[in-house]
Copies of this chain bind each other. A is one copy, B any other.
Amino acid sequence: MSATGAFAVTEYRDRTARAQAAMAEQGLAALLLTTEPDIRYFTGFLTRFWESPTRPWFLVVPATGKPVAVIPAIGAHLMAQGWLDDIRTWASPDYEDDGVSLLAEALADCVPAGGTLGVPQGRETHLRMPLASWAALQTALPDRHFGSDAYILRDLRMVKSPAEIARIETACAIAGRAFARLPEIARGGRPLDAVFRDFQRLCLDEGADWVPYLAGGAGPGGYGDVISPATDTPLAAGDVLMLDTGLVHAGYFCDFDRNLSVGPPTAEVARAHERLIEATRAGFDAARPGATASDVFRSMASVVGETGVGRLGHGLGMQLTEPPSLIPADDTVLTPGMVLTLEPGITLGPGRILVHEEDIVIRETGAAWLSPPADRMEVLET
């Protein structure tokens, strides 16, 4: 890994070549990208500075040759350490023209009059620039067509390279070690917010670069949802504690959880947890090259049945959640290199759910675990 966390240049060259082949098929003269993962995919540009929403960043992938970066000057030093040759900058924020003219020029260089540029605009995408700038850009280029990217980015990013999979695997291993240490910090009487804080410290201690995502819940015999912030309510005997982390290693996420019982679980909870493990294994078995995302959904849904909770898993990589979705409507065909979460859930009663999650990679021969699969419900001291 380079000092900046980028992969070998061949990786970016290959990605660009694959994108350009797909662009040729779709009749696209260029791609215009605006989000962190899409830009990093072709450049290796890795920084937590995206946390600041102030400045827009642009990458243009032309029909041939290397991508062109059109970025705020504050990013020039870091971008120049990567493989790109053409890095155009402006002093952002510029209230008169925040990169729009510079971007229009770069696009005019790449897209002939009458040509079409592709912008991701389908499911799970957004345009990371002000709508007013987007309108100004289209006005500045009246004889270029602004079309969709025809899901080229989704299709490319959905299949991970060995180097990407290795990073996700490392992230999973870090989280696995942190989860194994949960009894150090979680027991009856400890407030949930203290457990959340301490668990993030364990993740860092075990090697996480940072912990962008931590969710969870705790409650008697189950929790109300999986997205609420932690309260200061102390854990109590009979609670099920769930922690779900998306920690990052070298720019790649893991995303899996653990359910623990404070004191011995009730028979109902123990049975539900067993079914979740069983559902996860069914998903694992179904997740083979040639199967679809909906096949994997159905394999898990058949175990959790009518009590199932929504989407039962998703892609994983530079983002915590990526395509595909394990839902009935997703007919994405699984291929080697895809990384998925298996995330079956069960509703036990009003305000009482249990959700389990593991991470897998699709190999030629079937699925392989990336997270260390849980086989039983750990019991915490009361």
Using a CB–CB cutoff of 8 Å, the interface residues on chain A facing chain B are 3-5, 46-49, 51-54, 73-75, 77-78, 91, 93-96, 98, 119, 121-132, 148, 193, 196-198, 200-201, 204-205, 207-215, 224-231, 233, 246, 310-311, 314, 319-322, 325, 327, 329-330, 351
Contacts and interface: CB of A to CB of B under 8 A. Distances in A.
Given A74-B310, A210-B200, A121 B131 contact: yes
Contact of A228 (B78, B95, B205, B310): B78
Given A73-B310, A204-B197, A321 B229 contact: no
Top-5 shortest CB links A-B: A121-B131, A49-B227, A77-B225, A52-B321, A51-B213
A198 to B, nearest CB: 8
21 contacts: A5-B229, A48-B213, A48-B214, A49-B215, A52-B213, A52-B319, A54-B314, A54-B322, A54-B325, A75-B227, A78-B225, A91-B310, A95-B329, A123-B130, A126-B126, A126-B128, A126-B129, A127-B131, A193-B209, A201-B205, A209-B229
Contacts of A330: 95
A351 B229 contact: no
A351 B77 contact: yes
A286 B351 CA distance: 53
B93 A123 contact: yes
A36 B334 CA distance: 32
B319 A53 contact: yes
Contacts of A228: 4, 47, 77-78
Contacts of A52: 213, 319-321
